[in-house]
């Protein structure tokens, strides 16, 4: 208030500049306050994680995100312990900033992958794909690394806290890749007000800084984005994969269709393409062959499960966007061009700061209104 009163005495332009500077300072301070816990647990300038994306989140994108102040995460879903070791070394050569490694709890060599992370002093491990067992958790904690886990519901999150996780990620069904059934907005309302003992990061459908700010204001410590980083200039995704993202609208990122409850399909969100249609036809065929006794239930199920094997690699690396899997979240609608990673992060922060600055501006104007004007406007409303 003092500032705004003072500013009105200055000449118009000078006063406005001072007001703007003050607004910017206040907005930055507020954002710092909102995501302090997230920055602290990550050790990064921005509490924005680049969600691990198999084939996409390798050394180049991970280092670019960390170098620009965010927090990159290597996706190890497709890697052997040897490959992971090479990737961690290569990432360290590209950035001195903190980054994490995403491990899938169902990976047959999970413990060996953990040992690789421990030997290379990885500071953060993000466990995905279900509740980790005590052995895996203990091994990571013993190495001194921080453990992040995904929680699909509040009870699950509480269990993870009891197991000793350092942070939780909640990811809604708007996200790209493997998804749960509940939207980000509902998960955030279910979990954020009730879980304060560890920092919580919100993921799924975040494409702009305004949404990021909204989750921070609801109590999140930070956010995780995947889809928005696919078309980063530093991302090695094939140009045809990137073009498909640039062309797509939110409604093109659809969840996989399951035809029969007896033949479960892993829910995955991806851009619809000819392979999506073939997947439905193939399910129909396998199910009718089972009904005619030509396949056992197990054989039919295996056919369904094997359909997408290698499909993400085909799309991301080979650029086969017809038969590959174009995993993408609904926030794909906000991907409009290839951009430098630093620019994407800057945009998110600027959008958040813009909201805060506008809010400070409107409070400032509200406070300088003379009391009789305020009374007058109330009278006018009757």
Ligand X SMILES: Cc1cc2nc3c(=O)[nH]c(=O)nc-3n(C[C@H](O)[C@H](O)[C@H](O)COP(=O)(O)O)c2cc1C
| Binding residues vs ligand X (CB under 6 A) | 51-54, 56, 75, 77, 102, 128, 171, 174-177, 203-206, 224-228, 327-329, 331
Quick check: 90 and 370 in contact, CB under 8 A? no
Min dist. Cβ of residue 375 to ligand X (A): 48
> Residue 203 or residue 300: which is nearer to ligand X going by CB?
203
CA gap 2, 178 in Å, rounded: 52
> Residue 199 or residue 204: which is nearer to ligand X going by CB?
204
> Residue 22 or residue 202: which is nearer to ligand X going by CB?
202
Element (H, E) at 225: strand 222-225
CA gap 309, 303 in Å, rounded: 10
Q: Which residues, 6 or more positions from 234, have their beta carbon under 8 angstroms from its beta carbon?
A: 60, 61, 63, 64, 340, 341
φ, ψ (nearest 5 deg) of residue 109 = -110, 35
> Residue 206 or residue 304: which is nearer to ligand X going by CB?
206
CA gap 62, 73 in Å, rounded: 6
Min dist. Cβ of residue 126 to ligand X (A): 7
Min dist. Cβ of residue 241 to ligand X (A): 9
> Residue 41 or residue 328: which is nearer to ligand X going by CB?
328
* Strand bridging mode 268-271 / 177-178: antiparallel
Min dist. Cβ of residue 353 to ligand X (A): 21
Quick one: which of 91, 95, 65, 97 has its CA closest to 76? 91
φ, ψ (nearest 5 deg) of residue 37 = -65, -40
Min dist. Cβ of residue 231 to ligand X (A): 11
> Residue 31 or residue 175: which is nearer to ligand X going by CB?
175
> Residue 137 or residue 175: which is nearer to ligand X going by CB?
175
Min dist. Cβ of residue 51 to ligand X (A): 3
Closest CB to ligand X: residue number: 226
CA gap 286, 306 in Å, rounded: 12
Min dist. Cβ of residue 204 to ligand X (A): 4
C-alpha separations of 76 from 68, 80, 309, 364 in Å: 22, 8, 16, 49
């Amino acid at each position: 208030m003092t500032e705004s009163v003072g500013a009105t005495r200055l000449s118009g332009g000078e006063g406005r500049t001072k007001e703007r500077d003050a607004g910017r300072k206040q907005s930055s301070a507020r954002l710092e306050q909102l995501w302090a816990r997230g920055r602290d647990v990550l050790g990064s300038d921005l509490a924005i994680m680049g969600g691990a994306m198999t084939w996409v989140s390798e050394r180049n994108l991970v280092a670019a995100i960390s170098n620009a102040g965010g927090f990159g995460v290597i996706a190890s879903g497709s890697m052997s312990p040897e490959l992971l070791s090479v990737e961690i070394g290569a990432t360290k050569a590209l950035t001195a900033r903190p980054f994490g490694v995403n491990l899938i709890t169902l990976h047959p060599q999970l413990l060996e992958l953990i040992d690789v992370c421990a030997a290379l002093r990885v500071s953060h491990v993000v466990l995905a794909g279900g509740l980790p067992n005590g052995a895996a958790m203990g091994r990571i904690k013993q190495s001194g690394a921080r453990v992040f886990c995904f929680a699909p519901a509040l009870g699950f999150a509480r269990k993870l806290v009891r197991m000793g996780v350092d942070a939780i990620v909640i990811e809604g069904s708007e996200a790209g890749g493997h998804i749960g059934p509940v939207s980000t907005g509902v998960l955030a309302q279910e979990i954020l007000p009730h879980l304060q003992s560890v920092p919580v990061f919100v993921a799924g459908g975040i494409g702009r800084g305004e949404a990021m700010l909204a989750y921070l204001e609801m109590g999140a410590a930070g956010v995780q984005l995947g889809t928005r980083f696919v078309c980063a200039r530093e991302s090695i995704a094939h140009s045809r994969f990137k073009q498909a993202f640039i062309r797509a609208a939110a409604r093109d990122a659809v969840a996989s269709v399951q035809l029969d409850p007896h033949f479960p399909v892993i829910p995955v969100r991806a851009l619809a393409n000819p392979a999506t249609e073939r997947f439905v036809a193939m399910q129909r065929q396998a199910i009718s062959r089972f009904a005619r006794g030509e396949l056992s239930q197990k054989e039919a199920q295996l056919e369904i499960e094997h359909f997408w094997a290698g499909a993400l690699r085909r799309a991301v690396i080979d650029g086969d966007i017809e038969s590959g899997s174009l995993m993408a979240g609904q926030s794909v609608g906000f991907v409009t061009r290839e951009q430098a990673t630093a620019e994407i992060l800057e945009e998110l922060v600027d959008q958040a700061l813009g909201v805060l600055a506008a809010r400070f501006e409107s409070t400032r104007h509200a406070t300088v209104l003379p009391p009789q004007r305020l009374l007058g406007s109330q009278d006018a409303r009757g």
